[in-house]
């Protein structure tokens, strides 16, 4: 699976074991994060499925309690019809009706929660899992789904707490099943919230470490033509040419210049002859000397190369060539520019 940031560590050349080791370490960490994504999503699905099952038990027990309380109200109202002097029953009936109303509201809310959670699992989490399994980069979506799951659990926790509070008003008589169901559901929700928060914190930590590791990585090296035809001119007399590039992120241009000043070998330039007009390769790559690097603004750099020893066919125009630049430094960068046509400037 190709990961976010991986495009900045491609195009490896043989013989760069030190840099390959660094890049392999980053790839391994990316693999670990992606594995955590998939495992995290699978665990969310399992936990929410378990929570839905427990919520349905609560809903069933709650409905049984409501039915029992409604039967009790009916009995009390029947007694009041037979003997209207039983004043103390009026307050009890009023209190029970208020309790039933509150429990029904919570029962309706619980039904909606169950439906929402089932839809969330079926539509969101399974779809996200499929994307990750297919190789779609899922880090942002995983984080968003995780935070959404936390919100779902927080809503469940609040609903269960309110139902438990109303249950206490029922005095416990005949509501043992509901009390058990509530305790089981709240235990599942609490455990799931704790596990999910740990998972999210772990992923945040991994991503932070990875971000720090990638802070010095050049994402692109883009050639900026000096001429409208896009070709590089190699001076006939001096045998030198200048290539302008934009480094991204731009702040890394300064760091690259400082490293180049200490060790010019971090920047290399290569030429390959081509056969005009098909620009088909005819010979092996020729390494050019990098004479200097000049730092501009906003990530702009100019690299001067020396073309001593180029073929006579190149200088006479019988053979064309392309030139490209490679950066391999101690920060783990291994970036190659596009190949740019080069012609002699007489």
Residue 121 has pLDDT above 80, yes or no: no
pLDDT 10s digits, 87-96: 667 777 787 7
What's residue 18's pLDDT?
45
DSSP 173: T
Q: How far is CA 336 from CA 287, 293, 326, in A?
A: 14, 16, 4
Residue 253 has pLDDT above 80, yes or no: yes
| Antiparallel, parallel or unpaired: β 286-295 and 300-306 | antiparallel
Residue of 233 and 174 predicted with greater confidence:
233
pLDDT 10s digits, 64-91: 778 877 887 888 888 777 776 666 677 7
* Mean pLDDT value across residues 24-48: 61
What's residue 87's pLDDT?
65
Query: What proportion of the chain, given as a percentage, has pLDDT over 90?
Result: 25
β partners of residue 320: 274
The CATH 2.60.40 portion of the chain extends over 220-345
Kindly report the backbone phi and psi dihedral angles of residue 144, in degrees, each rounded to the nearest multiple of 5, phi listed first: -65, -40
pLDDT 10s digits, 284-328: 789 999 999 999 999 999 999 999 989 888 998 888 899 999 998
Residue 114 has pLDDT above 90, yes or no: no
Q: pLDDT grade, residue 153 (50/70/90)?
A: confident
Q: What is the pTM of this model?
A: 0.45
Euclidean distance between CA atoms 257 and 251, whole angstroms: 11
What's residue 62's pLDDT?
77
pLDDT 10s digits, 179-204: 777 777 777 667 766 766 676 676 66
Q: Which CATH number is 220-345's, of 3.30.450, 1.10.8, 2.60.40, 3.40.140? A: 2.60.40
Euclidean distance between CA atoms 320 and 279, whole angstroms: 7
Euclidean distance between CA atoms 114 and 316, whole angstroms: 79
Q: How far is CA 301 from CA 1, 14, 248, 254, 269, in A?
A: 34, 26, 11, 9, 14
The CATH 1.20.1270 portion of the chain extends over 14-213
CATH class of 14-213: mainly alpha
């Amino acid at each position: 699976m190709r990961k976010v940031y991986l495009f900045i560590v491609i195009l490896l050349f043989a013989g760069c074991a030190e840099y390959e080791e660094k890049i392999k370490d980053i790839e391994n960490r990316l693999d670990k994060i992606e594995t955590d994504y998939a495992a995290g999503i699978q665990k969310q699905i399992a936990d929410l499925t378990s929570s839905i099952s427990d919520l349905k038990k609560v809903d069933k027990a709650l409905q049984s309690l409501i039915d029992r309380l409604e039967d009790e109200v009916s009995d009390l109202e029947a007694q009041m019809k037979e003997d209207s002097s039983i004043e103390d029953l009026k307050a009890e009936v009023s209190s029970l009706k208020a309790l039933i109303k509150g429990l029904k509201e919570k029962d309706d809310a619980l039904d909606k929660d169950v439906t929402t959670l089932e839809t969330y699992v079926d539509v969101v989490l399974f779809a996200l899992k499929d994307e990750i399994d297919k190789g779609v980069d899922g880090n942002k979506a995983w984080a968003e789904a995780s935070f959404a799951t936390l919100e779902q659990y927080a809503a469940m926790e609040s609903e269960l707490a309110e139902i438990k509070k109303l249950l206490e008003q029922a005095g416990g008589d005949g509501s043992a099943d509901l009390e058990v169901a509530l305790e089981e559901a709240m235990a599942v929700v609490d455990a799931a919230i704790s596990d999910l928060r740990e998972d999210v914190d772990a992923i945040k930590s991994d991503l932070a470490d990875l971000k720090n590791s990638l802070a010095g990585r050049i994402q692109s090296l883009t050639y900026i033509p000096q001429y409208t035809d896009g070709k590089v001119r190699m001076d006939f007399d001096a045998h030198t040419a200048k290539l302008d590039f934009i480094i991204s992120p731009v702040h890394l241009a300064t760091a690259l210049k400082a490293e180049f000043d200490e060790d010019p070998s971090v920047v290399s330039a290569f030429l390959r002859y081509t056969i005009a007009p098909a620009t088909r390769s005819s010979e092996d790559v020729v390494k050019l000397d990098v004479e200097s690097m000049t730092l501009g603004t906003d990530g702009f750099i100019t690299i001067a190369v020396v073309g001593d020893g180029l073929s006579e066919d190149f200088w006479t125009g019988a053979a064309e060539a392309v030139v490209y630049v490679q950066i391999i430094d101690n920060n783990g960068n291994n970036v190659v520019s596009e190949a740019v046509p080069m012609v002699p400037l007489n």
